Amino acid sequence: MGLLMTKKNKITEQEALELHACGRPGKLEIIATKPLITQRDLSLAYSPGVAAPCKEIEKDPEKAYDYTAKGNLVAVISNGTAVLGLGNIGALASKPVMEGKSVLFKRFADIDSIDLEIDTENVDDFVNAVSLLEPSFGGINLEDIKAPECFLIEKALKEKMNIPVFHDDQHGTAIITLAAFINALHLTNRKIENTKIVVNGAGAAAIACVELLKNYGVKNENVILCDRIGVIYKGRANLNPWKQKHAIDTKTRNLADAIKGADVFLGLSSKETVSQDMVKSMANKPIIFAMANPTPEIMPEEVKAVRPDAIIATGRADYPNQVNNVVGFPYIFRGALDVRAPKITEEMKIAAAEAISQLAREDVPDEVADAYSGQRLKYGSEYIIPAPFDPRLISRVPSAVAKAAQIGGIARKPITDYLLYERQLLNRLDPTVGTFQLINDKVRRSPKTVVFAEGEEEKMIRAAVAYVNNDYGKAILVGSEEHVQKKLEDLGLELPDNISIHNAALSKHNELYRNYLYERLQRQGFLLRDIQRMVHHDRHIFGACMVHFGHADGMITGLTRSYKDVLNDIQYVIDPKEGSIPVGVSLCVQRGKTLFIADDSIHERPSSEELAEIAIQAAQAAKKMGHEPRVAFLSYSNFGNPKGKTPVRIREAVKILEKRSDIDFEFDGEMSVDVALNPHIRQLYPFCKLTGSANVLITPGLHSASISSELLRNLSQGTFIGPLLFGLKKAVQIVPRDANVSELITMALLAAHEACSK
């Protein structure tokens, strides 16, 4: 099976194909934002009601931003002539990439986006096709178009269109490069007007970087641009207009000569084009941005071996200082759209770069630091660019871009209160998704060994292979080696080095596990032979013993038996945390909002004390996912109306929390679901302590929690995760019996992450 991978993220081609093909094919869909249930709904949304906004827009075209999605809609457009590392693969084959770019707009900046693939390499035809789409969109993101056509296309579209046109391959790279450059100069005490730069590569991204650096203050004569032939100097034959613009008077003719004494090397070319001798010849404290992907012009460790004083950035995620466009383009468009700017100016690009660079100099948020195994990231040579999942990017960068547009006089909808605007930006994104990426990063930095207890199951085997291929750690499959190897053969997979197979009946630890369990269970009616049978034949118990004794860090199981039975087996081995109880919490992530539902897997009719503890653990789960918990104790009644026996138990739970001095989250109840989630109905109860809609729902019992969770799982079009198991001394997760491979990997990742904290 083929592999698509970087050092940090290994995935198989089959996994990628399955993701794109499963369920609704592709990565995008269109969802109506208004109710369309009744005939009246249809009459308002379409004929005859739709005529009213049409007439208003005819009178004032700016009204399109008020009555349509135009103001939050960006088109990602390509002709497929320079796609990633695949080259000219054509418009249709580029569609998965363009869909992916559209997904990034939504994920990072809450911008709706649609991909358009234009099937032509003719510049005029491409320009005409795109320019005629102006009424439909608030902005145009050009993507993966080869040079020099990309320069001609962007220039023509900017002249024709009155909405932002942005070629991210050029300007996104340039903006992040400038942000890193600003901080590198600061750390090495250089003055920009004296800084000498050598650029290797003269394509779209390299030229955009050079132009933005010069606009920021780098002197023209201090930049030497090189291409495959050598130095671009005045008088050199066969230079296109874009290269000619940056030709300078110089006697140097090759990269090795040009780089001597240079302060900065900027690489946007190809692998292994820079040698250690070249690096040695640079000035003190050299700045080296080697951004060829996936292999840089020179690897960071090669640079450090000869110049430990160097500041290094690459395009890779597995080294410090990744020049990643996702730190820029979503937020730049967000700011431009919000002030209805007709274009993205040089001043707006520089404002974005300065905001990004400034962010790297500030204290790093706990959630980002936590992803680096608790290491406090600090501004310095290995941290000059903010992490891509820094939650502050969404408020800082759009705000800076919007201000620059306003100062430049091109904001058609000026912002009057920037503090309010930044708060609104922060509320656009659900922190859950970013938190999962931080969890992902943390586990990679502190890999863990996870037991896949039902190791003979096909889905468990595939999940274990993916777990180790993604560098999360080692995996243990519990089962017969013969059976597992046969399944691997049937799947066309080889057993990776970091996966081991443990047959419970043959384990060298059986006596240790048996003695431990017998001591725990002998006075609960279990004979020694019962314990021996359990250790030899029950994969859940064997796996739990491995985790208890530190022979593994965590475990996932649950595909073959009910949640209750599996949990019962695990609790023969592993105790709850001191003063705690096991709790199941499910997450429903839909359209930018996350709901935490508890307890939907364990406690049938929890007491008031148990409800209070469930609320505490569910609130902690929400905090771990980046949310400020607002806990609602649910019932059929609202604060005593109507009266009944069940609400009394819930009210007592609320009173228990009110008496505790260590509670640091909002909570209230009892209340119905509509009061918990609907702010208009909640206004009927002005004494309610929740300052916003609840995001943690505590149900009266297992029946209501399970029904609610399963309804959401089956009817929601969002992502459903869980139930997650909290409250045990060791990291164990029980998966749903219908879990797919992706869900198993997620649960294994969460078990590994929990193990990082134990």
Neighbours of 319 (CB within 10 A): 18
What three-state secondary structure class fits 379?
coil
> In Å, how far are 303, 484, 661 from 528, measured between CA atoms?
62, 29, 46
Q: Which two tokens stand for residue 391?
A: 């939650």
- Compute the distance between CA of residue 523 and CA of residue 702 in angstroms, rounded to an integer: 30
CA dihedral (262, 268, 274, 278) in degrees, to 10, reads 0
Least Cα distance to 603 among 580, 573, 587, 630 occurs for 580
CA dihedral (563, 569, 572, 574) in degrees, to 10, reads -60
Q: Letter for the amino acid at 78?
A: S
Q: What are phi and psi of 696, to 5 degrees?
A: -125, 120
Q: Letter for the amino acid at 586?
A: S
- Compute the distance between CA of residue 714 and CA of residue 113 in angstroms, rounded to an integer: 27
Q: Which two tokens stand for residue 502?
A: 């443990």
The structure tokens 């943690």 sit at 696
Catalytic, 46? Answer: yes
The answer to whether 196 and 222 have CB atoms below 8 angstroms apart is yes
Instruction: Select which of 7, 46, 304, 593 is catalytic.
Output: 46
Least Cα distance to 516 among 541, 552, 538, 553 occurs for 541
Beta-strand ranges (E) seen in 253-308 are: 264-267, 287-290
Least Cα distance to 620 among 689, 575, 672, 667 occurs for 667
Q: Which two tokens stand for residue 494?
A: 């080889």
- Compute the distance between CA of residue 106 and CA of residue 25 in angstroms, rounded to an integer: 18
Catalytic, 467? Answer: no
One-character DSSP codes across 699-749: -SSHHHHHHHHHHHHHH-SSEEEEEEEESBSSEEEE--TT--HHHHHHHHH
> In Å, how far are 511, 531, 578, 640 from 516, measured between CA atoms?
8, 10, 20, 50
Strand partners, 669: 633
The structure tokens 């889905």 sit at 459
- Compute the distance between CA of residue 288 and CA of residue 314 in angstroms, rounded to an integer: 9
Check residue 283 and report its DSSP letter: P
The answer to whether 89 and 83 have CB atoms below 8 angstroms apart is yes
Q: Which two tokens stand for residue 523?
A: 């006075």
The structure tokens 């969890």 sit at 439
Note the Cα 265 to chain centre separation in Å.
30
CA dihedral (346, 347, 351, 357) in degrees, to 10, reads 50
**Sign of dihedral through CA atoms 707, 711, 713, 719?**
negative
Greatest distance between any 2 Cα atoms in the chain: 94
Instruction: Select which of 8, 59, 95, 101 is catalytic.
Output: 101
The structure tokens 């030709």 sit at 247
Q: Which residues are catalytic?
A: 46, 101
